[in-house]
Homo-oligomer: A and B are copies of this chain.
Amino acid sequence: MNSRSKYKTKQREILLGYFETNPGVHVTAGDICEFFRSSGILIGQSTIYRNLESLVDEGIINKYNIDRNSPACFEYVRPDSHEDVETCFHCKCEKCGKLIHLHCDELDEMQAHLMKEHSFRLDPMRTVFYGLCEQCM
């Protein structure tokens, strides 16, 4: 569970560079494997999975479990936007599968309400709103 890297390896640097050049983008472990493979960069898939776990533990990237039976999504956390990500919500369209990022004061209030009135500490990282997007409605 709690894994942090102690060595600075070439593979880790490459992976980190990939995220830094793709901020705000959701990618799966498979996407990353495929990208490196097609780029002629050889990094084993287990190395990718292990480094992803480390980066999540270190708070450098976030992991979202959008859906069972679809792979986990990873997203780079910009150093200067630490608070934003904490309060970012995700909406998943049940029809087209589109993932929408929401950052909204009203949702923050809703979260505070759940905490105060219902004694429930919502975890935005784990919670996904399911429904229909504008196009599919």
Per the bound structure, the CA–CA distance linking A129 and B89 in Å amounts to 11
The yes or no answer to A42 lying at the interface (CB within 8 A) is: no
The yes or no answer to A106 lying at the interface (CB within 8 A) is: yes
CB-CB under 8 A from A41, the residues of chain B are: none
| Known A65-B68, A68-B72: A122·B129 in contact at CB below 8 Å | yes
Q: Is the interface of A mostly helix, strand, loop or mixed?
A: mixed
Near B by CB (< 8 A), chain A positions 90-107 give 91, 94, 100, 102, 104, 106-107
| Known A72-B68, A126-B131, A129-B127: A104·B117 in contact at CB below 8 Å | yes
Task: Say which residue of B113, B117, B132 sits within 8 Å of A123 (CB atoms).
Answer: B132
Is there an interface contact between B104 and A120, defined as CB atoms closer than 8 Å?
Answer: no
Shortest CB-to-CB span from A118 to chain B, Å, is: 6
The yes or no answer to A18 lying at the interface (CB within 8 A) is: no
Per the bound structure, the CA–CA distance linking A107 and B131 in Å amounts to 15
